[in-house]
Structure 1
Amino acid sequence: MQTVPLVSVVMPIYNEAAFISRSLGAVLAQDYPGDCLDVLVVDGGSTDGTRALVQATAARDGRVRLLDNPARLQASAMNAGLRAAHGEIVARVDGHTIIAPDYIRRCVETLAATGTHNVGGPQRFVGTTPWGRAIAVAYRSPFSVPSRFTVSDRAEYVDTVYMGAWPRAVLEKLGGFDEALAVNEDYELNVRIRQNGGRIYLAPDIRSAYYGRQTPGALWRQFFRYGAWKFTVLRKHPASARIRHLIAPAFVAATVGGAILAPLDRRIARVWRATLGLYAAALGAASLRQASRAGWSHLLRLPVVFATMHVAWGSGFWTEALRTARGAAKAVRR
């Protein structure tokens, strides 16, 4: 007799051959009852052998199903998984994340204990290169572009969580994920959950290891996209804006604007230099603080990592803002 709810795990993936065996293996190795686990791997047309690896696992384990995601968007992958899911609860697991053996059980227990509409754990970045390890250290600092799930170690209600687990009925009531968003679709869903009276809960015992970007270049591209799509989400839901979303765009605007106007006015030049000086001091202090906690070998890389996060996020935000403004101006002229 089934005593626990059936859980459908949805894994949106694309070209994860280097990681999918470990991430999918961690899902299948859960201490949750095996006959109450439904695993949907939703692939965006991988070309690196990912599909063959998933198919081989599915042939050995009937709980695994491979679905197609021609749109290659995480939102469309999650919606495809939701449509095919059998479970009362839907949990997201990313292809470059290794969940703890009790991850699904903890999600189910936390949903039941709190009555919330979405639960998740902290995002713990794992670095595999010297730069990756510095990025992992920076992620834990409130000087980055932080969310509670990257910096908090305590159970609390939050505005969003990493990955997430939901009662299926909640996702269906809200119409699933917004497929107009290539990034930040999880935050946007959580905005709608909160708007409809739901709550989101961060539980530190819901554990996973996130193997993220391992170079400054890859980090720049990731945070540029984050900033660009954050503008889109805030344009759709302006009341969801938080100070942390706006600091990096404000810094980039002040830096670029100051560089343009400083030659024209000495007062502006003084303010601009003071702004850069304050940022440099804060950058140094945050780098020293994190290096003192995690190891002095990170000290020289941390300023680069922090600055990359801030400038990439702010640049992406303003690039999308200008693109949107140009599109609106063209529409008016027509």
Structure 2
Amino acid sequence: MSRRVSVIVPCRNERHHIEAFCASVAAQRLPADWGLEVVITDGRSDDGTRELLAELASRDARLVVIDNPGGIVSTGLNRALAKASGEVIVRMDVHTTYADDYIGQCLQTLATTGADNVGGPWHAEGVTPMQRAVAAAFQSRWLAGGARSRQLDYDGEVDTVYLGCWPRRSFERFGGFDETLVRNQDDEHNLRIVKGGGRIWQSPAIRSTYRPRAHLGALFRQYLQYGYWKPFVMKKHGQAASLRQLLPGLYVLVLGVSLLLAMCGVWPGLAGALAGAYAVAVLLASVLIARHTGLDLLWRLPAVIAAYHFGYGIGSVWGWCDVLRGATTGRPRFSRLTR
């Protein structure tokens, strides 16, 4: 009897992408002794996604579709986990494309490392000019701050990986995903693994490509949510923030205070100096990124970088305000998915 790997996928309103995604998963080349199961949790789609999934499932017995009444990623992942029957669990995302040996490499890395979670680097690529600029900034060390998850050649232990692949025993030992978190539920789960004595491994052989947001507004809202939910994760685990996680929020806070002081006639030049210094830094970073990714992106990159920074920074300040006043759950306005 073959062993089974279960792919878990939360989705909502993905009619234009779900068929291609299911085809790419079905085309995965697995080791001869492994069978495949795909569990997709639909968060009450209203664009025809659910009907299309039902049609796809009628043609492929390996595809299982269930409801996700919570409508967010963490509830979808937990419902998929409860339904999945595989001894290995692989999380996949609809807006990511995968090498045809993606799952096979996950299984190989689990076997060779004995880790509690494995995954590949987070590699972003865009199609439209704006999406290419978003991907170029995302991949750059000037924005990522040296995060290993975006180092495409890094092979070794890490604190977190993109998506993830776990032996089922990892969930039995460390639990499922925190359903109070709309964003950062993967980082929180990986932090729980590391603090609990587990190991997470990144392998460049596990190859995938993420399609980022294609519009500035969507990018800003995405990172507003990432910034907002990060303090809730830190509060839960008593985790000290890294400098790269603090800087956007600190800058937004200092800039806001300086603007208020200027309105009161105190240090009127401080806000301008801070804004000017930031503008110079962003322009310099844009030039450095464009040199490697294409000069045609240069005029888009400053706005893209600012959307990343101000989205995350404003969200962080808002999140810390709620955490420090004793909130245990986030605001509903930060609970709506942004894609």
Task: Note if 1:24 corresponds to 2:17.
Answer: no
> 1:166-245 to 2 correspondence within 5 Å?
166-245=166-245
C-alpha displacement of 1:172: 2.1
C-alpha displacement of 1:151: 4.0
* 1:239 aligned counterpart, secondary structure: coil
Residue deviations 1:181-232 (CA, integer Å, cap 9, x gap): 1111000000100011112111112111212210001001101011001121
More displaced, 79-88 or 118-127? 118-127
C-alpha displacement of 1:54: 1.6
1:154 aligns to what?
154
Letter in 2 for 1:202: Q
Letter in 1 for 2:27: A
More displaced, 183-192 or 153-162? 153-162
Counterpart contact for 1:125–1:139, Cα < 8 Å: yes
Residues in 2 aligned to 1:77 and 1:244: alpha-carbon distance in whole angstroms: 30
2:246 aligns to what?
246
CA pair 265-201 structure 1, distance change in 2 beyond 3 A: farther
1:297 aligns to what?
296
Residues in 1 aligned to 2:5 and 2:198: alpha-carbon distance in whole angstroms: 20
> 1:78-89 to 2 correspondence within 5 Å?
78-89=77-88
> 1:315-334 to 2 correspondence within 5 Å?
315-326=314-325
C-alpha displacement of 1:242: 1.7
1:331 aligns to what?
none
Residues in 2 aligned to 1:143 and 1:265: alpha-carbon distance in whole angstroms: 35
C-alpha displacement of 1:38: 1.0
Counterpart contact for 1:7–1:37, Cα < 8 Å: yes
More displaced, 13-22 or 124-133? 124-133
Residues in 2 aligned to 1:121 and 1:274: alpha-carbon distance in whole angstroms: 41
Residues in 2 aligned to 1:96 and 1:208: alpha-carbon distance in whole angstroms: 10
Counterpart contact for 1:42–1:80, Cα < 8 Å: yes
2:45 aligns to what?
46
Counterpart contact for 1:145–1:245, Cα < 8 Å: no
Counterpart contact for 2:125–2:209, Cα < 8 Å: yes
Residues in 2 aligned to 1:247 and 1:37: alpha-carbon distance in whole angstroms: 43
2:11 aligns to what?
13
Counterpart contact for 1:30–1:104, Cα < 8 Å: yes
Q: CA RMSD in A?
A: 1.9
Residues in 2 aligned to 1:278 and 1:199: alpha-carbon distance in whole angstroms: 40
CA pair 232-65 structure 1, distance change in 2 beyond 3 A: same
Residues in 1 aligned to 2:258 and 2:51: alpha-carbon distance in whole angstroms: 53
CA pair 74-232 structure 1, distance change in 2 beyond 3 A: same
Letter in 2 for 1:281: V
C-alpha displacement of 1:129: 1.9
Q: Which runs of 5+ in 2 are unaligned?
A: 328-339
Residues in 2 aligned to 1:115 and 1:33: alpha-carbon distance in whole angstroms: 18
TM-score, normalisation: structure 2: 0.90
* 2:191 aligned counterpart, secondary structure: helix
* 2:227 aligned counterpart, secondary structure: helix
Residues in 1 aligned to 2:326 and 2:162: alpha-carbon distance in whole angstroms: 33
CA pair 240-324 structure 1, distance change in 2 beyond 3 A: closer
C-alpha displacement of 1:143: 2.4
Residues in 1 aligned to 2:131 and 2:81: alpha-carbon distance in whole angstroms: 33
Task: Give the number of equivalent residue pairs.
Answer: 325
Residues in 1 aligned to 2:78 and 2:239: alpha-carbon distance in whole angstroms: 25
Letter in 2 for 1:56: E
Residues in 2 aligned to 1:171 and 1:280: alpha-carbon distance in whole angstroms: 45
Residues in 1 aligned to 2:67 and 2:92: alpha-carbon distance in whole angstroms: 16
Residues in 2 aligned to 1:305 and 1:201: alpha-carbon distance in whole angstroms: 30
Residues in 2 aligned to 1:259 and 1:145: alpha-carbon distance in whole angstroms: 28
C-alpha displacement of 1:278: 2.9
Residues in 1 aligned to 2:106 and 2:324: alpha-carbon distance in whole angstroms: 42
More displaced, 119-128 or 87-96? 119-128
